[in-house]
Amino acid sequence: MSTLASKPVADAVDAKCTDDELIVTLVDGRRVSTPLAWFPRLLRATPQQRANWRLIGRGIGIHWDDVDEDISVRTLLAS
């Protein structure tokens, strides 16, 4: 039996992209930013495509339909 407890992860409530960063706001108020270079599809996307996102799984991730990109909050926090 494992005694390791999983760390709680806050869900995303908002996302935006600048020319070089992805910025995600979490339900607990934290803001996580990562370089767009980590996500080549978003890096190559137009500003309009980057703005067309939706939350998935009640905020456990973000999906961009136009570029077929999914990013989980857990991945962002582990980076």
Q: Which domain holds residue 24?
A: 12-78
Question: Whole-model pTM?
Answer: 0.85
The arrangement of strands across the sheet holding 21-26 comes to 12-17, 21-26, 31-35
Q: How many domains is the chain built from?
A: 1
- Domain with residue 19: its CATH number is 3.30.2020.40
Confidence band of 3 (pLDDT split at 50, 70, 90)? low
Q: What is the pLDDT of residue 78?
A: 87
Taking the C-alpha atoms of residue 26 and residue 77, their distance in angstroms, rounded to an integer, is 11
**Could you report the per-residue pLDDT of 32-77, keeping only the tens digit for each?**
999 999 999 999 999 999 999 999 999 999 999 999 999 999 989 9
CA-to-CA distance for 68 and 18, rounded, in angstroms? 19
Rounded distance, CA 4 to CA 63, Å? 30
Measured CA to CA, the distance from residue 71 to residue 74 in angstroms comes to: 9
